[in-house]
Amino acid sequence: MKKILVIGANGFVGRRILDNLSENGACEVFGCSLHPDILPKNGGNYHFITTDIRDEAAVKQLFKDVQPDVVINCSALSVPDYCEQHREEAYAINVSAVENLAYCCEHQGSRLIHLSTDFVFDGRSDRLYTEEDLPAPLNYYGVTKYQGE
């Protein structure tokens, strides 16, 4: 049975992915967040692990314990105004931690799915953006998410 690790499982998108994957029972699901599970389900079909992804040693231990086949990274410091005022923290979460996740995935042989944001673009396009469009972030949040990509 495949093991899927959802990082940022307390967030809006991460919670939906965690709940959806854990409901179908086709894989063993692990949720991970900085804080304890905000919506624990009695008998929920997932495991929840509290981990600070900025802590490289803790992330390496997480990978050792879980041995995930797939890692879905939904984590981010995602409040643009806060990121502007707390650049070191934004960089640590949105760039450095993602780099470490990618390293751990490569070492473990896990597939990494990294969610980004439309904030990597300037919003001036008159059509939907594609993967081929060049990023042009307008704020530090967008810059860090682009760097994390």
- Which residues, including other chains, have CB under 8 Å from residue 18's CB and lie 6 or more apart? 6, 9, 29, 31, 46
Catalytic residue list contains 141: yes
Q: Which residues of 111-137 are buried (b: 16+ CB within 10 A; e: fewer)?
A: ebebbbbebbbeeeeeeeeeeeeebeb
Catalytic pick among 46, 91, 141, 146:
141
Question: Would you name the residues annotated as active-site residues?
Answer: 141
